[in-house]
């Protein structure tokens, strides 16, 4: 189906109050698109996007550094509260704008000056750093579990932690990278061929995911009570060793990475039926389900996996495989079957990430954020009704990130990608939370000015249309903004004790994800000035000069 670009992309200017009101009052702001999303579908999309590699990769890492099972669960509960606060904040932003693009649009409205800088920085970071980083982390995890499913062992047992990928043997390090790119290629292809079938496949993967994690949760709880004499030891004793602030600093980004994806529906609101009514239920219910699932899965891991299996390894990024091996004992076939289900679950998250990421590429290109290739990136294929160009560009860039960035540091691939993508994302989560407060302030000032003009001192009554729109509780916005500030500052507290490295080298290694984030941000600022300010201004002057010359010629002919 042919789609009008003006109907699905953003304008160069921030959305005005009149445009916002018009979009709010319209039951179908985008009649050219098929409205395929409802509450149940929205819950499925969010759950599929959130639950994935994080919950089967980070629990072992967090348990090892934090050491106390009770503190581990508390951190996961806090992560759920912060995610719920962010979800409610984004519901209000979604029903205000009712257009795809997420933060790209919200930051345009909140911070239009200097020349949409904050919105441009987000679009650049999201497309070139955040989304590729998240995808790379998820695909790294899928490849690791696929390696375990095929070979029955972890891929990183013999890897040297003080060497980067360029100084490691080809196998298994580079095999993992190739597997990750192959998985990404398959996902990209079926998203190119059919939007509707891609949605069916992603929903099926979400169902497999829920079944897999339900089995993990139930099996672990049954094991806890049926073998209480042994299982209780992990709960009564902490892992040997000391814990300091650096343990919590390293855990925060990993937990928030595991919860990330709660805002995925905000990137596709033009495909959502009545977003002002459906988004609140889809977002809040999905975050609640995810929090409960995460707590149950962590309880299962802690109840079944022996402490020595966690404490005798540097990082256990395949804790689910260790869990299944403990659960099924000598049944190698059962272990590999269930690790295979984990692979499908993680692929489901990657697929949902590819889907939502391509929509932001289209929205940003619609705002001409990438002057040279904007038309190609924002165009939907008429035959398949999919953003083929955006999907292909996303595949190429993510592959380069996996191969080159993921091989240039001594930090493990999953840790590197998850930390730098989440830190980069929280820079803009923080800005978006503040942006909602700015939008509220602007709306209140506008209302007060109207009162002064009308000479009416009484507080105006909201219209029926205004009353039906959701407003996030102020406490939720405050939790979200304060959490963002805390994450951005506390992440600099890192451990300086690493095997085979000096304290200075260790600090640099631990800070490398944050350094990558700020390098990308600096590059984004340069591109904003050169391409979006200088080049656009130069092009505008050229158009004015050509127009003036044409008018001069016309005057001469007339005389």
Average pLDDT over residues 504-521: 89
Residue 279 lies inside a defined structural domain of this protein: yes
Average pLDDT over residues 29-51: 67
pLDDT of residue 274: 67
Lowest mean pLDDT segment, chosen from 162-166, 387-391, 447-451: 162-166
pLDDT at 92 over 50: yes
pLDDT of residue 421: 93
The band of 219, judged by pLDDT with boundaries at 50, 70 and 90, is confident
Structure tokens at 401: 């990130």
Number of structural domains in the chain:
1
- Crossing angle, helix 195-226 and helix 228-236, to 10 degrees? 100
The band of 28, judged by pLDDT with boundaries at 50, 70 and 90, is very low
Instruction: Classify each residue of 511-529 as buried b or exposed e, where b means 16 or more C-beta atoms within 10 Å of its C-beta.
Output: ebbbebbeebbeebeebbe
Residue 104 lies inside a defined structural domain of this protein: yes
pLDDT greater at residue 387 or residue 34: 387
Tokens 């039951």: give the residue: 27
Out of 341-350, 472-481, 522-531, give the one with best mean pLDDT. 472-481
Average pLDDT over residues 50-68: 86
3-class secondary-structure state, position 501: coil
- Whole domain around residue 105: which residue ranges? 36-451+471-494+501-518
Sequence-ordered list of residues with C-beta below 8 angstroms from that of 265, at least 6 positions apart, any chain: 37, 42, 45, 46, 94, 272, 279, 282, 283
The band of 271, judged by pLDDT with boundaries at 50, 70 and 90, is low
pLDDT at 24 over 50: no
Residue 296 lies inside a defined structural domain of this protein: yes
- Give yes or no for a contact between 160 and 168, defined as CB atoms under 8 angstroms apart: yes
Residue 347 lies inside a defined structural domain of this protein: yes
pLDDT for 417-438, tens place per residue?
899 999 999 999 999 999 999 9
Instruction: Classify each residue of 362-373 as buried b or exposed e, where b means 16 or more C-beta atoms within 10 Å of its C-beta.
Output: bbbbbbbbbeee
Out of 48-52, 104-108, 406-410, 541-545, give the one with best mean pLDDT. 104-108
- Give yes or no for a contact between 68 and 243, defined as CB atoms under 8 angstroms apart: yes
pLDDT greater at residue 79 or residue 498: 79
Helix (H) or strand (E) run with residue 191 in it: helix 170-193
The band of 113, judged by pLDDT with boundaries at 50, 70 and 90, is confident
Residue 195 lies inside a defined structural domain of this protein: yes
Quote the CA–CA distance of 98 and 472 in Å, as a whole number: 16
Quote the CA–CA distance of 150 and 158 in Å, as a whole number: 17
Q: What is the mean pLDDT of the chain?
A: 80
pLDDT of residue 551: 57
Residue 367 lies inside a defined structural domain of this protein: yes
CATH of the domain at 419: 1.20.1740.10
Residue 431 lies inside a defined structural domain of this protein: yes
Whose CA is closest to 465, among 14, 95, 42, 93? 95
Quote the CA–CA distance of 139 and 144 in Å, as a whole number: 8
pLDDT at 185 over 80: yes
Residue 531 lies inside a defined structural domain of this protein: no
Lowest mean pLDDT segment, chosen from 52-61, 101-110, 325-334: 325-334
β-strand partners of 272? 37
pLDDT at 215 over 50: yes
pLDDT greater at residue 181 or residue 371: 181
pTM: 0.83
Q: What is the DSSP secondary structure assignment for residue 266, as one 8-state letter?
A: G
């Amino acid at each position: 189906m042919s789609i009008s670009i003006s109907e699905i992309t953003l304008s160069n200017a921030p959305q005005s109050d009149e445009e916002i009101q018009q979009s709010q009052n319209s039951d179908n702001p985008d009649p050219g698109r098929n409205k395929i999303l409802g509450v149940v579908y929205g819950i499925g999309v969010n759950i599929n996007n959130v639950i994935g590699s994080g919950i089967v990769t980070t629990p072992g890492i967090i348990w090892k550094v934090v050491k106390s099972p009770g503190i581990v669960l508390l951190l996961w509960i806090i992560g759920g509260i912060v995610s719920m606060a962010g979800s409610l904040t984004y519901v209000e932003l979604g029903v205000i704008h009712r257009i795809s693009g997420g933060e790209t649009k919200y930051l345009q409205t909140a911070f239009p000056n200097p020349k949409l800088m904050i919105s441009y920085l987000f679009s650049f970071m999201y497309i070139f750093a955040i989304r590729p980083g998240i995808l790379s982390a998820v695909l790294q995890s899928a490849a690791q579990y696929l390696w375990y499913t095929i070979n029955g062992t972890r891929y990183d047992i013999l890897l040297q932690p003080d060497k980067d990928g360029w100084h490691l043997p080809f196998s298994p390090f580079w095999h993992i990278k190739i597997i990750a790119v192959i998985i990404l290629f398959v996902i990209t292809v079926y998203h190119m061929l059919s939007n509707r079938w891609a949605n069916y496949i992603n929903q099926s993967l979400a169902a497999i995911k829920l079944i897999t994690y339900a089995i993990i949760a139930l099996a672990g709880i049954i094991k806890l009570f049926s073998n209480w004499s042994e299982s209780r030891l992990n709960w009564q004793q902490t892992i040997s060793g000391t814990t300091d602030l650096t343990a919590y600093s390293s855990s925060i980004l990993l937990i928030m990475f595991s919860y990330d994806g709660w805002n995925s529906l905000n990137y596709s609101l033009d495909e959502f039926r009545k977003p002002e009514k459906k988004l609140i239920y889809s977002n809040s219910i999905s975050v609640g389900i995810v929090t409960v699932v995460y707590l149950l899965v962590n309880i299962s891991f802690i109840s079944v996996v022996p402490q020595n299996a966690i404490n005798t390894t540097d990082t256990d990024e395949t804790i689910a495989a260790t869990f299944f091996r403990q659960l099924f004992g000598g049944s190698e076939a059962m272990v590999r079957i269930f690790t295979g289900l984990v692979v499908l679950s993680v692929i489901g998250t990657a697929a949902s990430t590819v889907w939502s990421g391509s929509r932001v590429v289209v929205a940003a290109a619609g705002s001409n954020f990438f002057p040279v290739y904007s038309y190609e990136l924002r165009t939907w294929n008429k035959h398949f009704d999919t953003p083929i160009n955006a999907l292909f560009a996303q595949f190429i860039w993510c592959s380069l990130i996996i191969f080159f960035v993921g091989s240039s540091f001594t930090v493990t691939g999953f840790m590197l990608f998850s930390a730098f993508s989440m830190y980069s994302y929280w820079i803009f989560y923080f800005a978006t939370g503040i942006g909602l407060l700015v939008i509220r302030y602007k709306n209140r000032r506008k209302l007060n000015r109207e009162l002064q003009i009308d000479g009416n001192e009484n507080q105006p009554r909201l219209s029926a249309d205004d009353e039906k729109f959701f407003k996030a509780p102020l406490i939720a916005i405050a939790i979200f903004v304060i959490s963002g500030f805390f994450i951005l500052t506390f992440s600099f507290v890192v451990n300086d004790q690493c095997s085979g490295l000096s304290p200075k080298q260790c600090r640099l290694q631990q800070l490398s994800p944050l350094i990558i984030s700020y390098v990308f941000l600096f590059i984004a600022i340069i591109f904003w000035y050169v391409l979006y300010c200088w080049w656009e201004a130069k092009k505008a002057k050229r158009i004015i000069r050509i127009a003036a010359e044409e008018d001069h010629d016309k005057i001469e002919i007339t005389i």
